[in-house]
Amino acid sequence: MNPYSAIQAKLSLSQPLPHTPDWSAAPDFIELIVEHALQAKPEVIVECSSGLTTLVLAQCCQFNQKGCVISLENGEDYAEKTCQQLKEFGLEDYAQVIHAPLEKVALSDNEYDWYSLKTLPEVSIDMLVIDGPPGFIQKNSRYPALPLLLDRFSKQTKVFLDDAARDDEKELVAHWQDEFSGVEHEYLEFERGCSVLDIKKAS
């Protein structure tokens, strides 16, 4: 049985969701972000990495009749593939996949390879889904997401960090909590672990 069939049914998708066991987010993580998107109806959803999550979140925006998904993707081939899948599902009007090559950025006395933000529109982010860059390229690979995007968050942004069972993700969440005020964290015992963070900014 397709592990994503329940999600396909919930979103009334006419064809099976394309997925790969090694790269696609697990069903429990997908269900969580879909539920939030349908309930909170965010205007702007930003993703670090693209793929299956892009499709389901774009479908949520279509359901809500509001909102859009902006995906940062370092792999040009992956970006093109996701764009093609969006067209196949008729969701290209609800998502924008940006080819954002990794570039060096210095943060907290460390250097990271992270997505170029040169072509990210000036938007106020209501929901952030972090599923990249890949953890194998460097230690705490996903740490830059908060320090680099925090200024673009709306007054109450919710962040979903996948693969949070890994030691690196646990460590970087602790760094975020130490460095930034107004960060509330909940860890969920999902297949690969999930950290959900509420970011409350001062008015």
The C-alpha atoms of residue 149 and residue 152 are separated, in whole angstroms, by 5
Q: What share of the chain is helix, strand, coil (3-state, %, to 5)?
A: 35, 30, 35
pLDDT at residue 124 above 90? yes
Task: Sketch the domain layout of the chain as residue ranges.
Answer: 21-200
pLDDT digits (tens, 9 = 90+) for 18-71: 887 777 899 999 999 999 999 999 999 999 999 999 999 999 999 999 999 999
Nearest to 52 by CA among 108, 13, 101, 102: 13
Q: Which residues contact 134 (CB under 8 A, 6 or more apart)?
A: 141
CA end-to-end distance (rounded Å), the chain:
48
Chosen CATH of 21-200 out of 3.40.50.970, 1.10.287.3510, 3.40.50.150, 3.30.930.10: 3.40.50.150
pLDDT interval class at 2 (50, 70, 90): confident
Nearest to 63 by CA among 47, 33, 41, 36: 41
**Residue pointed to by tokens 């939030």:** 36
pLDDT digits (tens, 9 = 90+) for 141-192: 999 999 999 999 999 899 999 999 999 999 999 999 999 988 999 999 999 9
Length of the chain: 203
